[in-house]
Copies of this chain bind each other. A is one copy, B any other.
Amino acid sequence: MKKINVGLVGFGNIGSGVVKILRERKSLLSEKIGLEINIKKVCDLDISRQRNVNLAKDMLTRDVKDIINDPQIDILVELIGGVHPAKEFILEALKKGKNVVTANKALLAQAGQELFSEAADRGKNIYFEASVGAGIPIIKSLREGLVANRFYSIFGIVNGTSNYILSSMSKNNCSFQEALKVARSKGFAEKDPTLDIEGMDSAHKLILLTYLGFGKFVGLKDVFVEGISHIALADINYAKELGFAIKLLAIAKKDGEDLEVKVHPTLLPENHLLSSVDGVFNAIYVASDLAGDLLFYGPGAGQLSAASAVVSDLVDLTQDIKAGLFRPTLNIIEDKTVKKLRKVDDFKSRYYIRFMVLDKPGVLARISGVLAKFGISIGSVSQKERNKTQFIPVVMLIHEAKEKDMRNALSVINRMDVIKEKPVVIRMEEA
């Protein structure tokens, strides 16, 4: 049976999952694909630590050149994460005629364009199913299953850590800090959770989803990113009373000829399927013009889940290699109906706003007067408590407005003496 040799860089959590699956499912995979996927070499800085799989000593190396310079190795699997030296390893491997599988969303978000174009120049493929939604086959679905479709929007919950925190605040009626603490203790949040809770990890994945759906490679600086660390339990509860859940969404959305690409906490109607996605699960909602509205749901992280996606990429590559197929840009082309990336000032959205105001006659009139001056119209107002001497929360739902108008109105309102602090502003999505 023909053997396809694989070199693996990064023998960590996912890496050892890949080795485990390729071993334990060796005959299953061979029977399915008619050839053998053989891990020839595994490279890691630490080759002495015990993993949950054992490798013969001569399969392990600390020098990536043992993989890159081995002409018998057909595929490099990059699982070290981070931009450097992962990027250099991949470029070197492509130069040596290898195909590549990676789960590295941070790298692809930053240097994907360069890497994909290098691969295309060399007639090689880079597959990256594990980089978004772990084992959920969302990338294959967008590229292949929905190949004939144009997309109105692709949006979803793509960061398990922040979804765990928001769900657990809602479920356990606890603060952000308490929820984060529990997430850490369960291994769902890193010691430094900034990438996850400030939305950057979601932004990386969103850049890939936007590329897949609209054929545009958006720079990280062009993605509007807002995290969840400012979300108070009070807002989750007020939203719930009004029939909404708060989720951190990554959104790529066409509006006319513009594309909005953004990550932010979002009020979603509680009967929206995404509102029922709790804990560390991910779900991506795809609004397509032929296949309609689709949802792809599953665990967004986990050793075997991510490794399952890496192995599916390996299987696809074996078929490409066997057939001499070259499809680095297969099914990713630019959506030419999109003329420009919308600037944040021009974003349009409905809004949830919580003001902390003095409970005095005329306060609401003053606030709504300013909003009206900027052409912003109020859908509903609810005052949550009564207290003559303290600042009290007033929650407004605002009809669709332009971000710029909203910001300008708020900067006027913030200067009022009846306003205690910067209001909490959370965008809303319908679909």
Where the two chains meet, the residues of A that have a C-beta atom closer than 8 Å to any C-beta of B are: 21, 25, 28-29, 31-33, 129, 134-137, 140-141, 144-150, 271, 273, 276-277, 283, 288-299, 302, 304-305, 307-309, 311-312, 315-316, 319-320, 322-325, 327, 330-333
Tell which of B145, B293, B295, B307 touches A290, judged by Cβ atoms closer than 8 Å.
Answer: B307
Other contacts beyond A32-B332, A135-B288, A144-B312: 16, CB < 8 A: A31-B333, A32-B147, A129-B145, A135-B292, A136-B291, A137-B141, A137-B145, A145-B309, A147-B315, A271-B276, A273-B273, A273-B297, A283-B295, A291-B305, A295-B297, A319-B327
Cα distance A61–B148 in the bound complex, in angstroms:
26
Contact across chains for A291 and B145 when beta carbons are under 8 A apart? no
- Checking B145, B293, B312 against A146 with a beta-carbon cut-off of 8 angstroms, the contacting residue is B312
Asked whether, in the complex, the Cβ of B305 is within 8 Å of the Cβ of A135, the reply is no
CB–CB B291/A308 < 8 A: yes
Q: Is A293 within 8 A of B298, CB to CB?
A: yes
Q: Which of B273, B295, B312, B323 contacts A145 (CB 8 A)?
A: B312
Q: How far is the CB of A141 from chain B (nearest CB, A)?
A: 5
Asked if B323 and A305 make an inter-chain contact with CB atoms under 8 angstroms apart, the answer reads: no
* Distance in angstroms between the alpha carbons of A263 and B332 in the assembled complex: 39
* Nearest 4 pairs of A and B residues by beta carbon: A137-B145, A135-B291, A323-B323, A290-B308
**How many chain copies does the complex carry?**
2
Q: Are A293 and B299 in contact, with the CB atoms below 8 A?
A: yes
B291 lies within 8 A of A148 (CB): no
Contact of A331 among B25, B32, B141 (CB under 8 A): B32
A296 to B141, CA, bound (A): 11
- Selected from B32, B292, B296, B316, the residue in CB contact (under 8 A) with A302 is B292
A31–B150 Cα distance when bound, in Å, is 14
| Min CB gap A35→B, angstroms | 12
How far is the CB of A11 from the nearest CB of chain B, in Å? Answer: 18
Judge whether B28 and A311 touch: CB under 8 Å: no
Cβ–Cβ contact B294 & A136, under 8 A: yes
Give A277 to B297 CA distance when docked, in angstroms: 13
Q: Can you report 12 residue pairs joining A to B where beta carbons are below 8 Å apart?
A: A21-B290, A135-B291, A137-B137, A140-B145, A147-B311, A273-B273, A290-B305, A290-B307, A291-B298, A291-B308, A292-B302, A296-B296
Contacting residues, chain B, for A144 (C-beta < 8 A): 137, 140, 312, 315-316
Q: CB distance B295 to A295 under 8 Å?
A: yes
A162 to chain B minimum Cβ distance, whole angstroms, is 19
Please determine whether B32 and A333 come into contact, CB atoms closer than 8 angstroms. yes
A93 to B: closest C-beta gap in Å: 23
Interchain CA distance A294-B146 in the complex, whole Å? 18
Known: A140-B141, A311-B148, A315-B148. A304 touches B325 (CB 8 A): no
> In the complex, what residues of B have CB within 8 A of residue A315's CB?
144, 147-148, 331
Q: Is the CB of A32 within 8 A of B298?
A: no
Chain B contacts for A149, CB-based, 8 A: 308
CB-based nearest B residue for A335? B28
Determine the chain B residues whose CB is within 8 A of the CB of A290 once the complex forms. 21, 135, 304-305, 307-308
CA distance A137 to B147 in the complex (A): 10
- Known interface pairs A273-B273, A290-B308, A319-B327; A135-B141 also in contact (CB < 8 Å): no
Residue with the greatest number of chain B CB neighbours at <10 A, chosen from A136, A273, A294, A322: A294
Residues of B within 8 A of A31 (CB): 333
Q: A315-B147, A323-B324, A331-B32 are in contact. Are A297 and B298 (CB under 8 A)?
A: no
Task: Give A82 Cβ to nearest chain B Cβ, in Å.
Answer: 25
Q: Assess whether B298 is in contact with A294, with CB atoms less than 8 Å apart.
A: yes
Partner of A147, one of B312, B327, B331: B312
Q: A301: nearest residue on chain B (CB-CB)?
A: B292
| Nearest neighbor of A140 in chain B, beta-carbon distance | B145
Q: Which residues of B contact A327 (CB under 8 A)?
A: 319
Contact yes or no, B305 A292, CB < 8 A? yes
Closest beta carbon of chain B to A366's beta carbon, Å: 41
Which residues on the B side are within 8 Å of A323 (C-beta)? 320, 323-325
Which residues from B are CB-within-8-Å of A32? 147, 330-333
